[in-house]
Structure 1
Amino acid sequence: MPERETPQRWIDRLNTLGPRRSGNDAHRMLIDEVATELTALGYRVERDTHTFERWDAAEDAVSLTIDETRVEVSSAWPYSGETGPTGTTAPLMLLAGRRKTWASAAGRIAVIEVDNVEAPASLLLNSWDGRLPFDAVANPVISSELAGTDLTAAREAGVLGVIAVWRGLADHEARGQYLPFTRPHQGLPAVWVPESAGDRVVAAARRGARATLVLDATRHPDASMDTVWAVSPGTGPHVDESVLVVTHSDGGNAVEENGFIGLLALARDAATIPHDRTLVFVLVAGHLRIPAVTEHGQATTAWLDAHPELWSPDADGPTAVAGLVIEHLGAKRRRDEAPGTDDRTDAAEPELLYATTREFDALVRAEWRDAAPVKPGALIHLGEGEPLFEKGIPAIALVTGPASLLAETAHAGVDLDLLARQVDSFRALQRRLADAPDRTAFGTVRRPGRLRKLLAAGRIAWFLLRRARRAR
């Protein structure tokens, strides 16, 4: 594989396609193109079609006006709600604190503030050797979830709309954030505004200024998207065992998600080199619309539930003994600026690389350059590796998370040299997993018990409580 040419072609293609919101034309086109590549390698490509109601809002269909003056909007809150083209006009009302008294803003547009929280990494991650690859995490993906904003409760209380002000996130990084992306449709229009406009919006809310919020989103009831997958049969004594190679296809930029570049490289390797175990390559759809494909877990959960014959020891087929999950290859710390600017974005984002057994921790350290693998936290396993962890399938998962990961942008920072090294490492891992003589060398996944989960939840709650008290 020409590691410098093919990845660049695909990165350019992602930037040309634009955001692959789940089920939109760009998303469906990429799925078809990857399927075509797999077919050209000699694979029989299978498809699972997911039909759902897609919500979409064009950039020019979103605006905010306060006292007849336009205010910058960073992004729409996906699957929040719709105002129609004329928008919703009402007085503003500021709601402070983590627990929102939504009823006090009935008949108004509520203004809330959401901190991009810097949290100790140990709250979310665990370690095999007592060390973590970084000390703290400050990512808007996590912060939008930790804020706990319940738009459904706000709607039921009579709120007409919500304006969320980012705090602690640079305007440049706030732009285009597709967050939060895990919620069902909530029936209440909401938008994000950047910190630079925050003081003005908050001051307007304190005096009850009138605002017009426009979120002229469209709902498409018969949208669809395909998960595609292909099998490379084993040829040795362990053909009754499988290794799952997983990534997802939806994403807003060329980092989220470019994992298919690695998946195709590994599929090409498997097509040309005989291997002992059966290899299953899965490109799941729905990562950015999880409620459309499953009630629990990530998008991969839907594929696992639909195809136990390719992984479950209780079904008639191979049993999955290992998994590789490829996401966010070559991620830089910051997005690249548009041409003509001076911003320097050469630094790579610290890798977030999971190994879900102690044996895989050792394997990663042997095969991965400068690896510092982590074990899943008691409450959270980020990314599409989580369903494999929940099913007890030992796995190695890359899910590096720069601040711009969920930003819809044509300027995502991708380090092609780093991407190539990561693909090489995944290739080496696949060969080891496909041909290892004894599956017991992969170890056993041990999921956290109820007490560990309660303690972890308590630590997070205590952290948020202390932070709120300091902010008063």
Structure 2
Amino acid sequence: MAISRRKFVARSGASLSALALLRVLPANAADPFQEGLLPSADEMWSEVKFVNDTMGPTRFTGSPQHSAFVQYLKDQLTNILHPAGGSVFEETFANYPRWAATSWTLSAGSREIPVASYFPYCTGGFTGARSPLVPAPSLAAAGSGGNYPLADGINVVVIPPKASATGSVVNLGNFTGPGSINWAQAAGKIAYIDVSVEVLSNTLPPSVYTVQGTYDEGAFNTETSFFPPVAIATIVLPPDITNATKAGVLGVILGWQGISNGNAEGQYNPFTVPYSSSPASSQAGSNPSQTTGGIPALWVTEDVGTLIKSEIAGKAVPVTVHLDAEIRQVSTSTVWGILPGANFGKPNDEFLICNTHSDGPNIVEENAGISLFNVAQYFARLPQRERPKSMVFMAATGHFGHGFFGSGGTAAPDWIRQHPQIINQTVGCMTIEHFGCNEWEDIKRGSTWFYEATGKLLQSEVIVTDPAFQKGAAGTPSSGELPKPGPADPTLHEIFNASIAGAFDRVVVLSGGVFSGEGGAFHAIGVPTIGYIPNPQYLCAIAPDGEISKLDSKHFHDQVVVTVKCLIAMQKATADQLKSAR
């Protein structure tokens, strides 16, 4: 439902700053969005289905499916940017040690126990130290990429995953954060722990954010923000399987608490952990002679966890935790392109960045590469003189790279270090991830949880914070200091509100807190950034259909439109306006 500018200001609770912003922007800042420059919703959706059907349902970092998707993105960006005078680059990270599970089971004697999913990167290990990154020699040039040396059996070693562990089960209680479990009590045995989604979600409570407003299909501020417990809370405080390895535990069973069986199925979490060898893998490497390979660890549903605690733990029942996986050194690439603006190559040129990542366990996480080249196509169809700023479109690898790329679970820091010339001229960034999501939630009826669609669009998180404030207010639950709520960059906030008006979407706009996703690295170095990042319950769930049945084609299309509108406004704004809160 389209609404007028007057109604927008009233409904959003915006002050005169919204109108003031429009007055100080250049006269053509409110140029209308040109719908004909974007493909239709059906055309975009056909691309989503094509990727899911032919390069899926998963595209884990460095897998054949992921490599095919990266090549597809490169081809699309090349076809779009080259005719407009742009350039496309592929930066290859050589010898990435990819971990891939092939089978997993749990049994107690002759009894098969259902498994919800496996704990990523828990078995085996890699001891190599990463080679230094080398910056690109010039503005429009690729960086060198980074790599680990191939394993030579002396300084760099792949520790083959051990598939199975058998022993009696010890119930070690509730995991509430690193150090909360005495793993030594299960040395030489199988450990069982409960992992509460609600407890871990509360370690980063909604109060660390300032809620700037909500939007729901044409109406502003008609609902409250919605922060249900989610399985991805485990990436904030992941179970410390490395400490279990160090203590001599043979294997680990983790019981989800507080989510339904359907929700628990296939969860690829926590995906940010390194190899759970002892010491844990890192970019600094470790001494092969003093590194112990990680141990098999499996997730079970709450129902199965109850069965294990009541009928198996503490009894003389041999339990086998089986997780067959391989570690193979492969190559994986980040693809990015430049679309020249009116001042490209001149000292006064400025850059806008639109970025995402390319790897993930389903078509939700990540489909924004498809959004990315559609956004690029819109701007490439404009005359160069109508792009005051040059643009970068980037799909990074390594979001699921278990600590071998960038830092903090995001690959963007690598690209930033490799391209100081671009970063020095960058005045704004828009990060896009996970488009088109419908809302699925756990609904309790009586004593039973049911995982089902609510009939609504997902309330997506949009993060717009002031980088200057965020630098001084950073914290993490693991450090014992929580992030603080804080202000939003006023220009970016107004740009997003104006762009979302009338869209088929549902969002909450946040500031302060933690700037999650691939935009966090740009935000952290002071680039004014909008993070458009829906986070559904099924974000990291492996499913036979790649979770495409939980997406909506019109919603996907409208989120691409909102992205384009934000970037149009960012093109028209001056650098001083974009950094107005700093």
- TM-score relative to the length of structure 1: 0.85
In 1, Cα distance between equivalents of 2:224 and 2:90: 37
Shift of 1:444: 4.5
Deviations 1:95-142 (A, max 9, x none): 013311111100001001111115385244333469995243311111
- Give the direction of change, closer, same or farther, for the CA distance of 1:296–1:400 in structure 2 (3 Å limit): closer
Corresponding position of 1:215: 323
Match of 1:89 in 2: 166
Give the conservation status (yes or no) of the 8 Å contact 1:64–1:214: yes
CA distance in 2 between partners of 1:15 and 1:382 (Å): 25
Mean Cα displacement is larger for which, 129-138 or 283-292? 129-138
Q: 2: distance between equivalents of 1:133 and 1:100?
A: 36
Give the structure 2 partner of residue 174 of structure 1: 264
Residues matched between the structures, number? 427
Give yes or no for contact 1:121–1:134 (8 Å, CA) kept in 2: no
1:162 aligns with one of 228, 252, 255: 252
Shift of 1:14: 3.5
1:439 matched residue in structure 2: 575
Structure 2 counterpart of 1:322, from 425, 428, 431: 428
Tell me what 1:40 maps to: 79
Q: How far apart are the structure 2 equivalents of 1:293 and 1:84?
A: 21
* Matching residue's letter, 1:267: A
Match of 1:14 in 2: 51
Partner of 1:422: 559
2:144 match = none
Distance of 2:348 and 2:266 partners within structure 1: 46
**Residue in structure 1 matched with residue 129 of structure 2 by the alignment:** none
* Residue 336 (structure 2) pairs with residue 200 (structure 1): no
RMSD: 2.3
Mapping 1:35-434, distance limit 5 Å: 35-41=74-80, 42=82, 43-51=86-94, 52-58=96-102, 61-81=103-123, 87-97=164-174, 98=176, 99-117=180-198, 119=202, 121-128=205-212, 134-142=225-233, 144-186=234-276, 187-203=294-310, 204-220=312-328, 222-236=329-343, 240-273=349-382, 274=384, 275-296=387-408, 298-312=410-424, 319-334=425-440, 344=453, 346-356=455-465, 357-369=489-501, 372-377=508-513, 380-409=514-543, 410=545, 411-412=547-548, 413-434=550-571
Contact kept, 8 Å, 2:167 with 2:319, in 1: the verdict is yes
CA radius of gyration, larger in:
2
Contact 1:76 1:191 (8 Å CA) reproduced: yes
Residues 132-141 or 205-214, more deviating: 132-141
Q: Deviation at 1:296?
A: 4.4
Kindly indicate whether the alpha-carbon contact (under 8 Å) linking 2:439 and 2:458 is maintained by their aligned counterparts in 1.
Answer: yes
**Structure 1 residue 346 displacement after superposition:** 3.6
Deviations 1:279-321 (A, max 9, x none): 0001101111151112446211111111111112xxxxxx110
**Offset of residue 323 of structure 1:** 0.5
Cα 1:171–1:21, aligned 2, differ >3 Å: closer, same or farther?
same
The TM-score, its normalising length taken from structure 2, stands at: 0.70
**One-letter amino acid of the counterpart of residue 509, structure 2:** P
How far apart are the structure 2 equivalents of 1:419 and 1:121?
Answer: 28
Give the 3-state SS of the residue equivalent to 1:229 in structure 2: strand
User: What SS is found at the alignment partner of 1:216?
Assistant: strand
CA distance in 2, matches of 1:73, 1:442: 49
Equivalents in 1 of 2:454, 2:551: separation in Å? Answer: 9
Measure the CA separation in 2 of the matches of 1:216 and 1:422.
39
8 A contact 1:80–1:185 mirrored in 2:
yes
Distance change >3 Å, CA 257–CA 11, structure 1 → 2? same
Cα shift at 1:24? 0.3
Where structure 2 has 5 or more consecutive residues not aligned to the other structure, the ranges are 1-37, 125-159, 215-220, 277-293, 442-450, 466-488
Shift of 1:147: 4.6
The structural deviation recorded for 1:47 is: 1.2
Which ranges of structure 1 fall in alignment gaps of 5 or more residues?
313-318, 336-341, 447-472
Give the AA of the match of 2:251. G
